[in-house]
């Protein structure tokens, strides 16, 4: 196949490029680098099957030649980013999705949308099933991201129904691994960065809020299987390995050998930040035969090794 991956220089987009190239496909990567970084794809320089285009997909997209699939992963994805770029986040979720869908339609290509667990908002259902409609504050500070993704899903299904376009929607739950930005504001790089510097890990509030963490390789495997399926409704991809922030902080300190401990600070989480987050992955198991393979015990040390090099270089 020849595929277009938007957001190709981002954390997940770059791993997606690697997977498709490894499978023998040709990849056109596109990114405006607002939050992505060419370091993530520097190892692909000189690869005859990879082309990178610096471009903002919120504008009309033109790609010469045939395409077999368009995978839309372009968007700020961490709170620190979409609070800094709220309008750009809304535009890439609306205009960018529209442009990417239009390109897929013109090329008679499959279309896969990177959606998010954030479409469930601060959930009143736990764990979250794909049938749950969510609890989202449309005008809150997180609304720019949550509502952009909810609109993206609606537009994707509209193209599927009206144009009979082969579309796919993956709802991505918390994912970690190499190539995350050290300063992206999410808990994994925050804790690891503090631990590697010998600092106490900062936990906001009482640390009882939970997340479930999946390793990036498992997410990419789920995306790849979904694109090659004939299932067109949203699919959760995430892990059942849920833990509190306090428990996660202790785990990071244990693996890194950080003796500085944990400090608790005033709850500075963004308004409407979910208290719990864990997917029901029954659909992924039944439709895709997918289950996560990399436990936190195995994935976290790999990620810490990556960040150790980043910290040592700064």
Query: What is the CATH classification number for the domain harbouring 25?
Result: 3.40.50.720
Cβ-Cβ contacts under 8 Å for 74 (sequence gap 6 or more): 6, 7, 10, 13, 30, 31, 32, 57, 92, 96, 100
| Residues 267 and 158 both lie in one domain | no
Catalytically active residues are: 145
Indicate whether 260 belongs to any domain: yes
Positive or negative torsion for Cα 181, 185, 190, 194? positive
Asked if 118 and 184 sit in the same domain, the reply is: no
Q: Please check whether residue 7 lies inside any domain of the structure.
A: yes
Neighbours of 225 (CB within 10 A): 18
Same-domain status, 117 and 69: yes
Do 141 and 254 fall into the same domain?
no
Q: Which of 187, 231, 230, 176 is nearest to 209 (CA)?
A: 187
Residues 249 and 165 both lie in one domain: no
Instruction: Note whether 160 and 149 are within 8 A (CB).
Output: no
Beta strand spans in 173-225 (E): 175-176, 201-204, 210-212, 214-215
CATH of the domain at 271: 3.90.25.10
pLDDT number for residue 269: 61
pLDDT of residue 268: 63
Q: How far apart are CA 80 and CA 182, in angstroms?
A: 12
Do 124 and 229 fall within a single domain? Answer: yes
Domain identity same for 197 and 141:
no
Does 60 share its domain with 191? no
- Do 198 and 110 have their domain in common? no
Q: Which domain holds residue 37?
A: 2-175+213-237
Number of domains in the chain: 2
Two structure tokens written together for 112: 């896969």
- The answer as to whether 73 is a domain residue is yes
Would 288 be classed as within a structural domain? no
Question: Could you tell me the pTM of the whole model?
Answer: 0.96
Cβ count within 10 A of residue 18: 19
- Same domain, residue pair 158 and 20: yes
- Regarding whether 108 and 41 lie in a shared domain, the answer is yes
The pLDDT value recorded for residue 163 is 98
Q: Are 177 and 303 in contact (CB under 8 A)?
A: yes
Please report, rounded to a whole number, the percentage of residues in the chain having pLDDT higher than 90: 92
Residue ranges of the chain whose pLDDT lies below 50? none
- 114-129: pLDDT as tens digits: 999 999 999 999 999 9
pLDDT tens, 133-145? 999 999 999 999 9
Q: Is residue 138 part of a domain?
A: yes
Among residues 309, 297, 99, 111, the alpha carbon closest in space to that of 196 is found at 309
């Amino acid at each position: 196949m020849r595929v277009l991956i938007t957001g190709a220089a981002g954390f997940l987009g770059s791993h997606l490029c690697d997977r498709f190239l490894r499978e023998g496909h040709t990849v056109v990567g596109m990114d405006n680098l607002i939050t992505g970084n060419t370091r993530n794809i520097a190892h692909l320089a000189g690869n005859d099957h990879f082309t990178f285009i610096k471009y903002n997909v919120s504008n009309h997209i033109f790609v010469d030649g045939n395409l077999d699939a368009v995978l839309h992963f372009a968007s700020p994805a961490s709170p620190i980013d979409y609070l800094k770029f709220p309008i750009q986040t809304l535009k890439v979720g609306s205009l960018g999705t529209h442009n990417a869908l239009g390109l897929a339609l013109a090329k008679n290509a499959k279309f896969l949308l990177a959606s998010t667990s954030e479409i469930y908002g601060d959930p009143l259902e736990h764990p979250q099933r794909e049938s749950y409609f969510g609890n989202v504050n449309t005008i809150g500070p997180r609304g720019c991201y949550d509502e952009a993704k909810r609109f993206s899903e609606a537009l994707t299904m509209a193209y599927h129904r009206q144009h009979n376009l082969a579309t796919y929607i993956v709802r991505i739950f918390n994912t970690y691994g190499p190539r995350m930005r050290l300063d992206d504001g999410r808990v994994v790089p925050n804790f690891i960065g503090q631990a590697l510097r010998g600092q106490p890990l900062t936990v906001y509030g009482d640390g009882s809020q939970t997340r479930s963490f999946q390793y990036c390789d498992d997410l990419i495997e789920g995306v790849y299987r979904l694109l090659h399926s004939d299932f067109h409704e949203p699919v959760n991809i995430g892990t059942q390995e849920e833990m509190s922030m306090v428990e996660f902080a202790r785990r990071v300190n244990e693996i890194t050998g950080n003796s500085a401990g944990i400090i608790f600070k005033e709850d500075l989480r963004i308004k409407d930040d979910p208290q719990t987050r864990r997917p029901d992955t029954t659909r992924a198991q039944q439709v895709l035969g997918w289950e996560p393979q990399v436990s936190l015990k195995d994935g976290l040390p790999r990620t810490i090794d990556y960040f150790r090099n980043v910290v040592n270089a700064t």
